[in-house]
Amino acid sequence: MDTVLIYVIVGVIVLLGAIAYGVSLIGGRRRTVEREAPPAHPGLPAEDLDRQPPGDSTDTVAPPERPGAQATVEVVPEPEVAPAPPQPTIERPASARGRLQRLRARLARSNSSIGQGLLALLSRGKLDEETWEEVEDTLISSDLGVEATMELVESLRTRVKVDGATDEATVRGWLREDLLALVQPEMDRRITSTRVGDRPAVILVVGVNGTGKTTTVGKLARVLVAEDREVLLGAADTFRAAAADQLETWGARVGVPTVRSDKDGADPAAVAFDAVKAGIEEEVDVVIIDTAGRLHNKVGLMDELGKVKRVIEKQSEIDEVLLVLDATTGQNGLQQAKVFSQAVDVTGIVLTKLDGTAKGGIVVAVQRQLGVPVKLVGLGEGPDDLAPFDPEAFVDAIVM
């Protein structure tokens, strides 16, 4: 009996030892597999494998062919994304207010023949008839015009006769007063650039070839943007191949869109019509239409300009017709102005190249010829060298 009990106890002990040995073998094999085989998803913890989203095939793992073999991971590269094109830098021009005063020195250099020449003559002390003839010649050569010259000389003669003084300071004061009167500071030189009722203001820019008309339109857009106006440009100069490109470049620099034709030689009236229509639909403040340069003595071209004006007026009034004149052309520019005014009812003058060999008297002459004011002057080639005309700053530059 005792012997049987001993055999049973020994058997149980052996059985328990066998079970323990078997369990240890199984546990060691699991640890070996876990060390040798990487997780099925690179970068994903083993405990998160069950939470891997279904259908995720970004990384493909080849299963091992036999236990303990290294798994092969094939990484699919992400497609290259093309870099976004750089956004154009939009310039913010400084306000044009007071710009002519800042450019006085440049303006004075172009008008020294008036101011300095007259002061030298009138300050001689003795003003005989020969001296007064020289004064007249100086004024006429400055493009002041015969009528305005006679008025100025008569006023100066009277002042000298009454006062008797001819010192430079006194003469400078007289000259400033009389020139300012001739420039007519009371003229309204504002440019309509705000919405009129439920439509934008419309500005038509005209002129002969070579006056810098398209450049002037671009500079005018900058002036208006500086005054917080929403501007749209119309490239109705369809005959010069580069005109639309040039205008579009000017506009893009200040964030102003340009309406243009896709083909050269398109009907300029149609482009102008489309530009005004777009301005109405987009509710901008002002639409500026650039037109082709044309010789004032070519009847057909002037008639075409009249057609552009009539087509625009089918959907909107034209608030401004600005005539661009080259200030260096002198009296020839006056004849151009007269013909253009007859064709399209000019409301204002833009004098370009006034910083060159121009004579300041052209301001007085052209205003008298047309009865409309000089509203803008170009004093250089820089993008912000177009200035609203200021009569006092202009005269001060002449007699400084």
Q: Summarize pLDDT for 361-386 with one digit per residue, the tens.
A: 889 989 998 999 999 999 888 898 89
Annotated binding-site residue? 354: yes
CATH of 201-389, one of 3.40.50.300, 3.20.20.70, 3.40.50.1980, 3.40.50.720: 3.40.50.300
| Eight-class DSSP state of 333 | H
For position 343, what pLDDT does the model report? 84
| Eight-class DSSP state of 194 | S
Annotated binding-site residue? 89: no
Residues 64, 357: Cα–Cα separation, whole Å: 90
Token readout for 102 is 């800042």
Output the pTM of the full model: 0.75
Q: Which of 151-155, 244-248, 325-329 has the lowest mean pLDDT?
A: 325-329
CATH class of 99-183: mainly alpha
Residue 224 burial (C-beta neighbours within 10 Å; 0-12, 13-18, 19+) = buried
Annotated binding-site residue? 3: no
Contacts of 309 (CB under 8 A, 6+ apart): 204, 318, 321, 344
For position 52, what pLDDT does the model report? 45
For position 333, what pLDDT does the model report? 80
Dihedral (C-alpha) 213, 218, 223, 226: value to the nearest 10 degrees?
180
C-alpha Rg value of the chain to the nearest Å: 42
Range among 120-129, 242-251, 292-301, 351-360 rated most confident: 242-251
Annotated binding-site residue? 72: no
Boundaries of every domain in the chain: 99-183, 201-389
φ/ψ of 324, rounded to 5, equals -90, 120
Residues 165, 202: Cα–Cα separation, whole Å: 52
Annotated binding-site residue? 355: yes
Given a contact cutoff of 8 angstroms between Cβ atoms, the answer to whether 307 and 334 are in contact is no
Annotated binding-site residue? 213: yes
Q: Which of 21-25, 310-314, 324-328 has the lowest mean pLDDT?
A: 21-25
| Eight-class DSSP state of 372 | -
pLDDT at residue 66 tops 80: no
| Domains 99-183 and 201-389 in one fold | no
pLDDT band at 228 (very low <50, low <70, confident <90, very high): very high
Q: Does residue 57 sit in helix, strand or coil?
A: coil
For position 58, what pLDDT does the model report? 44
Tokens 């893009």 belong to residue? 252
- Higher per-residue pLDDT: 161 or 276: 276
Mean pLDDT in the chain?
Answer: 80
Annotated binding-site residue? 347: no
Is the backbone of residue 207 left (phi > 0), alpha (psi -120 to 50) or beta? Answer: left
Report the pLDDT averaged over residues 228-246: 91
Burial track 163-172 (b if 16+ CB lie within 10 A, e otherwise): eeebeeebbb
Annotated binding-site residue? 211: yes
Annotated binding-site residue? 214: yes
Q: What is the pLDDT of residues 74-119, one digit of tens each?
A: 655 666 666 665 666 788 787 877 777 776 777 766 655 577 777 7
